[in-house]
Amino acid sequence: MTIAQTNELAPRKPLRLWPGVVAVGLQWLPLLILPIFAPDLAMFGLLGGAAGGLVVIVWWLFFSRAPWSERVGALVLMPVAVIATKRIVHASIENAGMGKMIFIFAIPVLSLALVAWAAASRRLSSGPRRVSMVATILLACGVFTLVRTGGITGNGVSDLHWRWTPTPEQRLLAQAGDEPLASARSAPAAPKPAPAAEMPDKRTAGQASDAPVPPAPAPAAAETPEKRVPAPAGNDPAARSTDLADVKVKTNAEWPGFRGPNRD
């Protein structure tokens, strides 16, 4: 029996899981607790998630007892899967954090997926273990295709929603599109046109045409103004007697520029 055959028959050492479980627990604790009880420190939760990912990598490479093909294969597959997923996520996830949001959030998600897979597949043979490892990493990256973000607060907390839910801009546009319909429903009805004037009855019209028309009033006669002739000067008794009486002289109205046939 050769040495290679002896190694194949030798039982494989079980995975050392507890360091990975502790590392993932400490990694997710600030991510879940700080945004609830200390929102101002939520940014430190993201930093703790990145630091926890480094601890998980050290455990997986040096203390997990996994075959080296699985150790190296997992560390190569995870960044490739994240880069490929970035092309199909929502635009808000792709561009958030200057395009780095998905890489930051993928560290704790993939760390949790790796430890969960190692615990669930520790009794499987090498073939099923490797296939399930690839499937687990791809599913963990696929989670980011189901969500979108409405932005990041000043504390570093991302406003995550399901991808298929409408964005605030879409809700605003939908509300603006419904406003003309609502105003049209509430608009008062147009006033009905006034009924046309009724035509008089033929008999009434005939009687009205046969009735005598009253004559038009005659124009008033023009009255000529009265002109007083001054009494002649002197001591004549006739003049004095005439001065006592008013002499009325009627004058005819003439055009100022017409002086009769002897005008030349």
pLDDT digits (tens, 9 = 90+) for 92-112: 999 988 888 899 999 999 999
Distance CA 131, CA 80 (A): 16
Decide if 48 is inside a domain.
Answer: yes
Decide if 127 is inside a domain.
Answer: yes
Decide if 1 is inside a domain.
Answer: no
Judged against a pLDDT cut of 90, whether residue 88 lies above it is answered with yes
- The predicted pLDDT at position 48 comes to 87
Decide if 243 is inside a domain.
Answer: no
Dihedrals φ, ψ of 159, to 5°? Answer: -85, 90
Decide if 40 is inside a domain.
Answer: yes
Give the Cβ contact number of residue 264 at 10 Å.
4
Domains contained in the chain, number: 1
For the stretch 136-183, pLDDT in tens is 999 999 999 999 988 877 777 788 889 998 888 888 888 887 666 555
Query: In the structure, what pLDDT confidence band is assigned to residue 198 with cuts at 50, 70 and 90?
Result: low
Q: What is the largest CA-CA distance in the chain?
A: 190
Decide if 238 is inside a domain.
Answer: no
Q: pTM of the entire structure?
A: 0.62
Picking from 142, 165, 163, the residue whose alpha carbon sits closest to that of residue 81 is: 142
Contacts of residue 29, defined as CB under 8 A and 6 or more positions apart, other chains included, come to 48
Distance CA 103, CA 97 (A): 10
The domain of 49 spans: 12-167
Enter the DSSP assignment of 40. Answer: G
Query: In the structure, what pLDDT confidence band is assigned to residue 23 with cuts at 50, 70 and 90?
Result: very high
**pLDDT > 90 fraction of the chain, expressed in percent and rounded:** 38
Decide if 203 is inside a domain.
Answer: no
